[in-house]
Structure formats: C-alpha cells, structure tokens
C-alpha cells in the first residue's frame, strides 16, 4: 500500500489486467496515484493465439509512458498491403508506409503477439506488487462506514477498497454488470433494458499464429476479400506469421445468444480456405499446417451510452467493442486511459489539499463521457463500415471495395489519417519523439471536412453510374 505517498490518499482500483488495465496502471504510476489491479485469470499473459496491432494513436501514448521502445523491438512494422479480390484483381496499397512517413505520424502500423505486449506492459511496471492475479471480482459495494470508498469482493473472500473503481475487464465485464446493478439505486435512475441488450454479433474471427514461411516477406501484409469473409496475413520477423479470418455469421445475434466456438469449428472453417493462394505458391493450408496457436471467437459490436455510476467507471471493451478489421479496439482503449487520466489529474491538482467528493468524482466522470464519447463513436462507426466493405456485404460495399478503394484510395485514406490525427494524448507528459507534421496537418478542420465531402460526392456519382440509381 502506498496511499500515504499518493495524491491526497486517493486510490484507484483497476478491475482487469488487460492491455487497457495495465496501461492505466502505468499512467496512474506516472501521476503518483495509488492503485491496485485485480486480474481474474491465473496469469497476466496467457497464450490465446491472437496478434494485436499498435497504430500511431496508441503508440504515441505508450511512448509517453516509456513503453514504446520495448514494444518496437518486438513488433513488425507494416510497409505495404497486397489486396486480392475474388475476380483475380489485386493491387498494392502503400497506406501503412504513408502512415509511418516522416511527414506523417512517426509511428508505424505495427503488429505483435498480444501475449508479448501484455508481458512488456507487466514487466515494465515499477511496482508489480500492486498487481494480483486469480482475483475474480464477484460484487462491488459502497463502504458501509467510510464515505467515498467502494469495496470490491473477490470469489476467494478478499476485499479491496478504492476511491474510484475502473472496470477494464473486457466485453464480458463484471464491473459493467455491477455498475448497472448499482445504478438502480442511483438518483439518476436505472440503465434501460434496451441499452443493456444493445450489443450485437454479426461476425466471428479465427485468430492464428503460425511458424514462418520463407516466401512471405516480413512487413508485407496480404489481404484477401471474399463474399462474407476477410483473410489477413501478417508475416513477422520473429519466425512467425500472424493471421486472422473474419467470417460473417448466418445472422445477427444479440449478445448472450451468439454461438460459442470450439477448435473443431475453427478447423472446419479453415479447411474451406485450404487451397486459397496467399502469395506465390503459398496456400492457406501451408499456414494451417504450421499453426502454433488458433482461437475462434465471436466479434461483439456496440458503444454503450452509460459509462459510469457514482465512483465506478468502465473503459475499453467493457464500454465499446468493435471488430478487428480497422485495428482500433486496443488503441481506442489506450486513448480511454489518456482522456480519463487527463481529467483525473486535473481534478486531483485542483483539490490538492482536500479529498474528491462524490460530486467531484461524478462530475469528472461525466466530463470523461462528454469529451470522449463522440471520438469513440466515430472510431466505432468507421470500424463497422470497414468490416462490411472488406466482407463485400451488399452490392454497394462490393463496389466501393473493388472499384473505388483501389483507384481513389489516397482520398479515402485521408479520412483514416484524420481519425489518427484527432487522437487523444496524455496532456501532463511530454511527447518523446519530435512532433511530425501529420498530427496537425490531418487534424479535422473545415478544410478537411470539405475535402471529405468532395470525396463522398465523387463516390455517390460513381455508385450512381454503376447501379443506375440516383442517391441525390
């Protein structure tokens, strides 16, 4: 316990040792705020067969926290992406290279094993004693005697206390369920059933890691788009190949009713793509036969409206969940940490000689939602659209993917650059790398809005010509 040396004795209880939770731990440490992190699993970095993309918006924050150099040594930076369509047409996109260009963001689109990222985030924590594993939270309550304190009870009978509880425990968040329960006795009222049931599942993903294949060039991504599915292959330099298949399901499911997948389900789906060409003479079956880890999971999609109740707040996948195609799930969660900590840092400095009251905490959490919700919604909407263009879901999206993106890609990429440039950063920590012009050049502005409007108008004209319909 370090509350005596922390800011005003304020303590944060983090539920979940994910990328989100560990990043929050690092940020709180930089602030000098006491914390305790509880992870329900027995280890911080289990092997789940998944890779993770670190994009410039997440990389910049991780760099501010002193973590990016270690990440950079273990990740592979993408240079190009070879994109293939069912009719045999293909093109090469330099979008990843442009992102890393000296005139852009200074950070590449980088991929690494998710387990390795978790190891780095944990290993570089200054005080690992604040992290406890095998601590599944069963319920959260207000302290019966001490005002302004919440208690988290774990399945093994332990009790932990904090002035702020942050749920970073993923899409199946126990913290979120406790927040909903506690909101029933809150003056602001209960969370409506419509919101509780608003998460949907329309896609599933097979994540895989295979041993390397000499014919595949590290950093040269391969994307193959099919009718209802997308395959991405990312060769790494560590003798590994990361890959994933995003598959549209037979229908849209509500959260809780989506199918659960066994290893046999992944094998059955992958067998259908066995002869699919990857590059040269390499077929997908070559990756499958060299697999080291494979996992199949549903891809939930939603942005919840309610993020907090009293002194309890959720971040990351527990409040916004998106598909993997845009690669923004973890990066958006890292931004959550930056925005929340910026607001908390300001509030603690304003109350340097006194405690944060219930009203103070509720106000800062309302501000967190007000400032960050539009950003999260924008990222989610783009992720939703990209996934369906990749999967060729509907004639209009087939047209955009096949006949617009290959030829007007630079105009459309500008929207993705805007998305990156508008990202949050940690306001109370310096930027380690020299600021690249892209962060300012591509920030949303009236000029960029006009450019996007003209691109959209061009797209509508092209679709109208192709389909014979009017969209005006």
SS3 298: strand
Please indicate if the annotation marks 330 as binding a ligand. Answer: yes
Please indicate if the annotation marks 468 as binding a ligand. Answer: no
Write the CA distances from 168 to 109, 129, 228, integer angstroms.
24, 19, 31
Question: Kind of pairing, strands 164-167 and 312-314?
Answer: parallel
Please indicate if the annotation marks 102 as binding a ligand. Answer: no
Please classify residue 161 by burial: count the beta carbons closer than 10 Å to its beta carbon, then call 0-12 exposed, 13-18 middle and 19+ buried: middle
- What is the C-alpha R_g of the chain? 23
Within a 13 Å sphere around the CA of 121, how many CA atoms are in the beta-carbon half?
Answer: 25
Closest CA to 122 of 3, 25, 188: 25
Please indicate if the annotation marks 39 as binding a ligand. Answer: yes
- Please tell me the distance from the alpha carbon of residue 266 to that of residue 47, in angstroms, as a whole number: 17
Q: What is the DSSP letter of 276?
A: -
Write the CA distances from 252 to 257, 258, 389, integer angstroms.
10, 8, 17
Please indicate if the annotation marks 114 as binding a ligand. Answer: yes
Binding-site residues for FAD sit at 39, 53, 114, 317, 330
Binding-site residues sit at 39, 53, 114, 317, 330
């Amino acid at each position: 316990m370090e509350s005596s040396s922390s800011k005003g004795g304020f303590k944060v209880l983090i539920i979940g040792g994910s990328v989100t939770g560990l990043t929050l731990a690092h940020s709180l440490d930089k602030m000098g705020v006491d914390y305790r992190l509880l992870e329900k699993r027995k280890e911080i970095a289990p092997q789940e067969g998944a890779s993770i993309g670190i994009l410039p918006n997440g990389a910049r924050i991780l760099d501010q926290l002193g973590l990016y150099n270690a990440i950079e040594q273990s990740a592979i930076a993408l240079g190009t992406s070879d994109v293939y369509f069912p009719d045999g047409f293909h093109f090469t996109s330099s979008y990843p290279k442009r992102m890393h260009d000296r005139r852009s963001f200074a950070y590449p689109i980088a991929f690494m094993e998710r387990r390795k990222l978790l190891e780095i985030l944990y290993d570089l924590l200054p005080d690992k004693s604040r992290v406890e594993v095998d601590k599944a939270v069963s319920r959260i309550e207000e302290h019966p005697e001490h005002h302004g304190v919440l208690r988290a009870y774990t399945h093994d009978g332990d009790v932990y206390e904090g002035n702020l509880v942050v749920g970073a425990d993923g899409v199946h968040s126990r913290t979120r369920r406790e927040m909903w329960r506690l909101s029933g006795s809150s003056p602001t009222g209960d969370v409506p059933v419509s919101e509780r049931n608003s998460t949907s599942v329309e896609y599933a993903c097979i994540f895989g890691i295979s041993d390397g294949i000499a014919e595949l060039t590290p950093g040269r991504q391969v994307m193959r788009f099919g009718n209802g599915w997308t395959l991405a292959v990312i060769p790494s330099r560590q003798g590994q190949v990361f890959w994933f298949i995003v598959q549209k399901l037979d229908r849209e499911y509500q959260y809780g009713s989506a199918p659960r997948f066994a290893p046999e389900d992944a094998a059955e789906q992958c067998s259908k793509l066995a002869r699919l060409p990857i590059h040269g003479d390499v077929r997908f079956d070559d990756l499958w036969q060299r697999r080291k880890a494979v996992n199949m999971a549903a891809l939930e999609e939603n942005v919840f409206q309610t993020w907090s109740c009293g002194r309890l707040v959720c971040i990351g996948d527990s409040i916004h969940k998106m598909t993997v195609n845009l690669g923004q799930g973890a990066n958006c969660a890292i931004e959550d940490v930056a925005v929340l900590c910026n607001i908390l840092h300001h509030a603690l400095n304003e109350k340097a000689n006194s405690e944060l009251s219930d009203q103070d905490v509720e106000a800062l959490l309302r501000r967190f939602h007000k400032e960050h919700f539009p950003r999260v919604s924008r990222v989610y909407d783009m992720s939703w659209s990209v996934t369906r263009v990749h999967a060729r879901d509907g004639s209009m999206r087939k047209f955009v993917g096949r006949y617009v993106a290959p030829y007007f890609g630079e105009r459309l990429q500008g929207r993705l650059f805007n998305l990156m440039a508008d990202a949050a950063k940690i306001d109370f920590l310096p930027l380690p790398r020299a600021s690249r012009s892209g962060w300012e050049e591509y920030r949303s502005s009236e000029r960029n809005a006009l450019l996007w409007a003209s691109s959209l108008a061009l797209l509508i004209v092209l679709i109208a010509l192709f389909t014979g319909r009017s969209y005006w």
